[in-house]
Structure formats: structure tokens, C-alpha cells
Structure 1
Amino acid sequence: MRLYHGSNVEVRNPRLLRSDRRLDFGPGFYLTSSLEQASRWAVLSARRRRKGSPFVTVYEFDERLLDEFDTLGFTGATADWLDYIAANRSGEPFNDDYDVVFGPVADDATMPTLNGFFAGIYTTEETLERLMPQNLKDQYAFRTQRAIDALTCIEVIRP
């Protein structure tokens, strides 16, 4: 499977970095199967950091390897997905040690709805109902170096 990573720098040899950032699936190396989504991430990353240029690094990943890793997958915007990202974004993540977590991405377009949920304005059901019409892209968080090492860099492109 082809996966894409958007950044303000080329990332040919990814490694696991510890971060205080509160991301949907916790700390990890994030990718998507959408070239369009990775291109947007690259442009945003370069703009927000005010250095570098937008780059999309293309990786190949053998999906059969998922059987060898401890994985957690969300097939859509579900109550379990919502609870998981809420815990990670609140800074009180579940105590888990998954190698790879994948599912929908909570991006800038979804944040008003998700912030309403985090603030207790919307119930789980209301939040999921508001998210349904949105075309949620996917994301893969490779959360261990062992999983990251299974990625093969194919090329780096400029969006």
C-alpha cells in the first residue's frame, strides 16, 4: 500500500520522535493513503513553521505486516474513535502500546464539531451525526520504531 507523509522537510528516514503535541492517535509518525491530504499537510506545515518547503514523502508499506504488529483500526467515525481521539487530545491518553493506529483524521474542518464535543456542548451521538456528511480522510500513526522501520521510502515529491 502507498502511504504519504506531508512535511516542510524531506523525510526519507523517519524515526520516532517524542512530542508533547496532542495528536489524534497519540505520538507517532503520521501518514495517509491520500496524496491530496498529504499535500495539504505539507503546505500547512511549511506555512505554520515558516521554514522549509512543502514536501510529500511517498512510502510503500506491505499491509500483510499489520498481522505482525499490535494494531488498532477504526473503520469510520464511531463512538470508540471519538473517545480515543478525545483522550489523546485532552492529554490523558489510554494506556496502550499499539504499533500502528489507523482511522479517520480529525482535521481543521472537523475541529469546530470536535471542540463542541470536548467542551460538552454535543453528545457523542450529536457529534457523530454532525461528522457524517464530511468526507473524512484517513491517517495512520506508526507509533513504534519497529513499525516505522517497515516503511520503504519510494520518492519525495513537491506538491
Structure 2
Amino acid sequence: MILFHGSDKQISAPTFGAGNPRNDYGLGFYCTESIDLAKEWACQKNTDGFANQYELDSQDLNILDLSQDNFSLLHWLTILMPNRIFAPKSPIGHQNLQFLTEHFKLDYQSYDVIYGYRANDSYFSFASDFLENIIPIQSLASSMKLGSLGLQIVLKSPKAFSRLKFIKAEKAEKEKYYMQYKERDTTARKAYRESLRNLKPSESIYLIDLVRNPELLNGLSL
């Protein structure tokens, strides 16, 4: 696999155990298969940066692919919420989070690599709204698919780090990629608002509805 990591510096030898533990999937090395997306991440503070390119030998690695049909947004939420520190604002929010944890929690820490959705601040706020029953699950799902924030690949284990080979670092100019980063976030928020406008109230399913009747999940595309 060819991977890219956006950063304000060149990283020829990523260090296992370094970084921010409060990212989407906890402590790990976050990459993408898109060089343009990596350059946007590198310039998100309106500074120049680098798209560091690597080759990952994925043979025999234990990979959790959350994009597969046997997983849903609800599995993703059980990983996102504890790592990004979601604090429910209401008793129903607590109840909803407990329901997700009991029914969809994954042992994601046992994997070498995780492949799944990326949640910037916009997406985290959308997910928080869903957990508080402010928006239905259809709005969250359509926002994730239409917002184009992209999928990410996260290296989680020493074994995965040992399989990563640095190739090169390519410059990312803030004049171009910071604007693309902002535009992608704007697109996500626009898709979110559009999904709320277009959804029929009679078709809306909120998390509290799933708590009361889990069978409603049948037939939903998440």
C-alpha cells in the first residue's frame, strides 16, 4: 500500500507511541491513500507542510476495515466517542452512548491497522448531535458519504510501524491546500444542512428509536 501522512515537517521514521492520543482511533500514525488529502492536512493551520510518502507491506497485518458491509456508522461511533472525549449533555445522551457501547463496541486496539472514516471537528459535531437525538441517523450517514472528508488508514501496532518504509516528502503550499482544506469542511457542512432539509420527518430514525426498537436497523444503509 502507498500511504501519505500530512505534517508541518518531514517524517522519515515515524515513532510508535508518539502523537496525540485524542485522535479518532486513539494513539497511532494517521495516513491516507490520497496525496492531495495529505497536503490539505499538512496545511490545515494555514502554514506550509509536507505530504510524507510511505510504502506499507500489509502482508499478515491484522486490519480492521470499517468500510466493509459488516460494519456500520454505529461501530465507528463506539471508537470515536471515547477517543475524542464526548461528554453527553443529557440523560438520553448517556443512555444512547451506553446502548452503542453494549451493542456495537469493537476490540479495535487489538488490530495492527484500522481503515475507516475520518472525523474533523465538523464531523465530530454531527456525531455528537446524533447521540443527543438532535439529528436522525440518515442525516449523519448522508453527511459522511457526501462530505468527502475521506477515509484514513491508522497504524496502531509496533508490527505495523516496522512494515512502513519512507519514500519521500513532497512540499505542500498553504496558498493552495489551506483553501482546499477549508472548502472540504464547507462542503461537509453544506451536505449536512442539505440532508436535514431533504429528509422526510416520517422517515427519520433517531438513536432513541433504535434503543427502543433495534430491529429498525434492518434495511438501513449505514
How does the TM-score come out when normalised to structure 1?
A: 0.79
Matched, 1:83 2:83: no
Task: Indicate conservation of the 8 Å contact 2:66/2:76, yes or no.
Answer: yes
Match of 2:157 in 1: 144
Q: Which consecutive unaligned segments of at least 5 residues does structure 1 have?
A: 48-52
Q: CA–CA distance in 2 between the matches of 1:28 and 1:148?
A: 9
Q: Report the number of matched residues.
A: 151
Does the 8 A contact of 2:27 with 2:156 survive in 1? yes
More relative contact order in 1 or in 2 (CA 8 Å, sep 6+)?
1
Separation in structure 2 between the aligned mates of residue 111 and residue 89 of structure 1, nearest angstrom: 8
> Which residue number in structure 2 is paired with residue 35 of structure 1?
35
- Asked whether the equivalents of residues 21 and 83 of structure 2 are also in contact (C-alpha less than 8 Å), the reply is no
Distance 1:9 1:119, change over 3 A: farther
| Aligned counterpart in structure 2 of residue 158 of structure 1, from 154, 165, 171 | 171
Give the deviation of 1:146 after TM superposition. 1.7
SS in 2 for 1:9: coil
Q: Which structure 2 residues correspond to residues 2-151 of structure 1 after superposition, within 5 A?
A: 2-19=2-19, 21-44=21-44, 47=47, 53-63=48-58, 65=59, 68-75=60-67, 78-90=73-85, 96-151=109-164
Conserved? CA contact 1:7–1:46, under 8 Å: no
User: Whose Rg is larger?
Assistant: 2
Code of the aligned partner of 1:79: L
Q: Give ranges in structure 2 of 5+ residues lacking alignment.
A: 87-100, 173-222
Taking the aligned partners of 2:146 and 2:12, their CA distance within structure 1 comes to 35
Q: By how many angstroms is 1:71 displaced?
A: 2.1
Q: Distance in 2 between matches of 1:61 and 1:30?
A: 13
Q: Distance in 2 between matches of 1:19 and 1:118?
A: 28
- Contact kept, 8 Å, 2:75 with 2:106, in 1: the verdict is no
Q: Where is the helix percentage greater, Structure 1 or Structure 2?
A: 2
Tell me if the contact between 1:16 and 1:28 (Cα under 8 Å) persists in the aligned partners.
yes
Deviation at 1:120, TM superposition (A): 4.3
SS at match of 1:72: strand
- SS of equivalent to 1:38: helix
Question: Percent identity of the aligned residues?
Answer: 26
Which residue type is aligned with residue 56 of structure 1? A
TM-aligned CA deviation for residue 119 of structure 1? 4.2
TM-score (norm 2): 0.59
Q: 1:141 to 1:46 in 2, by over 3 A?
A: farther
